[in-house]
Amino acid sequence: MFNPNEIEATPLELEKSFKALELRIMQDIIRKLKENGGEITRASDWQVYRLYELGKCKEEIKQEIQKALKISDEEISNIYSEVFASGYARDKDLYVKTGKKFIPFEENKQLQQLISSVKKQTKEKIKNITQSLGFAVKQPDGKLKFKPIADFYQNTIDKGMLDITSGAFDYNTVLKRTVNEMTNSGLRTVDYASGWSNRVDVAARRAILTGFNQVVAKVNEDNAKNLETDTFEISWHSGHRPSHWWGGQWFEKEKLIDICGLGTVEGLCGCNCYHSYTPVIPGISVPTYSKEELEKMEKEEQEKEKYGNKEYTKYESLQRQRRLETTMRAQRQKIKLLQDGGADENDILTARGRYMTTSSEYVRFSKEMGLPQQRERVTIDGLNNIGQFPKEKMLKNAIGNDILKTNKTTLTGVPDVITQVKYKRGGISRNYYNKNGLLSKQISNNNHGNAKNHPFGNKGEHAHDYIYDKNGNLLNRPARELTDEERKENGDIL
């Protein structure tokens, strides 16, 4: 009925709306932190506003959830009326071939009944997900603890206000801490019985696919009964998990259960499985793959490819690709929230640099492992090109390299980037960051107003090399003359 790509893509729209909900909730919290932490400077003022603000935030979050639920209800209906109906119609072929009567989708009363109950069930599950939202926050003992949104919000703002008004930490530090806590966790839903929490988009995806697979299974079984067969072909896809080696093969129903684990979480059509099975008629149906083809395909799946000092099978490399995408989404959220909160410019640049590092690793890894990039899984967040440096901040040096304009020199920065700082008292410095984001070299077109220690060049132009110990602590920054190459590269400021 459906190929693995189609199954995987089914919950995409829903995931998107939950990602949007996640960002909006995080933004709500940051906005409140900024309004209060950025402006209220006395603890007593916060006590006056506290209850009112907490109530307002709860109300806003409730409205965001309602919005997401409305989209999800529409999407669930769409999945069954459009997506599912088209898959159903594909089975007509089998009926035509065997001369059996095919019941059109709309006329299949029994199926419509099942769909309406599965829809109801799925909507109920999604609603439950939204009723137990929160963040998993690292405790002092290192363990993660789930905090419902209302508690998280209240604790975050209370603690933040205390830190700021007592002078223990400044607003920017509290902002960074809150952004990190939220984006490292992601918006989660908890199962109170087990205490286990999952990211909302993952939970929503699971809820949709569980219902979807249930209906697909029912249709396949009806088809098998009508076609008087008990044999099924499982679909095959590349990058399947190692325990799902049986893709592409034919099995009787009983074996689907015994061998492929149909009906279990880890098995065929279970959690995160994109395999499916369709009835076939021995003697009439032709297998999609020959035995030799399957053997060859499976052998390729098991082959390991080296990247860095690790080896990856296809499945493992896809897993790593997914993890990089998750990291990139969190890093992009971080940039957005720091911007919203009015963070220090350098903190935003650093966050952007981290994203750019992951992003180029993603490009390199995908290319070397021969995997198509799936950028849409990252841009699903609707944040467009938030990871890029703003154009007005960029310039080129004399040999055409990108230079990023910043307002101060910091020891850590964006990996593999050159920044430029223009001093109020005159003079320009260029800072070179290495691949670990440490400042490794500084080139200045002047003597920092200290001619005695910089007896270099014509007007004091010189370089500093930064030397660190193995823990990254700065040991020294000796000054020296510029090399010919450095003069050429920075000819525009010398």
Binding site for Zn ion (CB under 5 A): 244, 273, 275
Q: How near is the Cβ of 312 to Zn ion at its closest, in Å?
A: 19
Q: How near is the Cβ of 364 to Zn ion at its closest, in Å?
A: 28
Q: How near is the Cβ of 123 to Zn ion at its closest, in Å?
A: 26
Q: How near is the Cβ of 246 to Zn ion at its closest, in Å?
A: 9
Q: How near is the Cβ of 248 to Zn ion at its closest, in Å?
A: 11
Q: How near is the Cβ of 244 to Zn ion at its closest, in Å?
A: 4
Region at 223 (left for phi over 0; alpha for psi -120 to 50; beta for the rest) = alpha
Say if residues 103 and 109 touch (Cβ distance below 8 Å). Answer: no
- In this complex, which beta carbon is closest to Zn ion, that of residue 245 or of residue 468? 245
Residue nearest to Zn ion (CB): 273
Dihedral angle of Cα 194, 76, 378, 244, to the nearest 10 degrees: 60
- In this complex, which beta carbon is closest to Zn ion, that of residue 129 or of residue 268? 268
Q: How near is the Cβ of 9 to Zn ion at its closest, in Å?
A: 16
SS3 per residue for the chain: CCCHHHHHHCCHHHHHHHHHHHHHHHHHHHHHHHHHHCCCCCHHHHHHHHHHHHHHHHHHHHHHHHHHHHHHHHHHHHHHHHHHHHHHHHCHHHHHHHCCCCCCHHHCHHHHHHHHHHHHHHHHHHHHHHCCEEEEEECCCCCEEEEEHHHHHHHHHHHHHHHHHHCCCCHHHHHHHHHHHHHHHCCEEEECCCCEEEEHHHHHHHHHHHHHHHHHHHHHHHHHHHCCCCEEEECCCCCCCCCCCCCCCEEEHHHHHHCCCCCCCCCCCCCCCCCCEEEECCCCCCCCCCHHHHHHHHHHHHCCEEECCEEECHHHHHHHHHHHHHHHHHHHHHHHHHHHCCCCHHHHHHHHHHHHHHHHHHHHHHHHHCCCCCCHHHHCCCCCCCCCCCHHHEEECCCCCEEEEECCCCCECCCCCEEEEECCCCCEEEEEECCCCEEEEEEECCCCCCHHHCCCCCCCCEEEECEECCCCCEEECCEECCCHHHHHHCCCCC
Q: How near is the Cβ of 72 to Zn ion at its closest, in Å?
A: 25
- In this complex, which beta carbon is closest to Zn ion, that of residue 271 or of residue 438? 271
- In this complex, which beta carbon is closest to Zn ion, that of residue 244 or of residue 352? 244
Q: Which amino acid is at 350?
A: T
CA–CA distance, 1 with 191 (Å, rounded to integer): 33
Q: How near is the Cβ of 136 to Zn ion at its closest, in Å?
A: 28
Q: How near is the Cβ of 239 to Zn ion at its closest, in Å?
A: 10
- In this complex, which beta carbon is closest to Zn ion, that of residue 119 or of residue 244? 244
- In this complex, which beta carbon is closest to Zn ion, that of residue 183 or of residue 276? 276
- In this complex, which beta carbon is closest to Zn ion, that of residue 265 or of residue 284? 265
- In this complex, which beta carbon is closest to Zn ion, that of residue 102 or of residue 289? 289
- In this complex, which beta carbon is closest to Zn ion, that of residue 272 or of residue 450? 272
Q: How near is the Cβ of 8 to Zn ion at its closest, in Å?
A: 11
- In this complex, which beta carbon is closest to Zn ion, that of residue 147 or of residue 275? 275
- In this complex, which beta carbon is closest to Zn ion, that of residue 275 or of residue 320? 275
CA–CA distance, 8 with 329 (Å, rounded to integer): 19
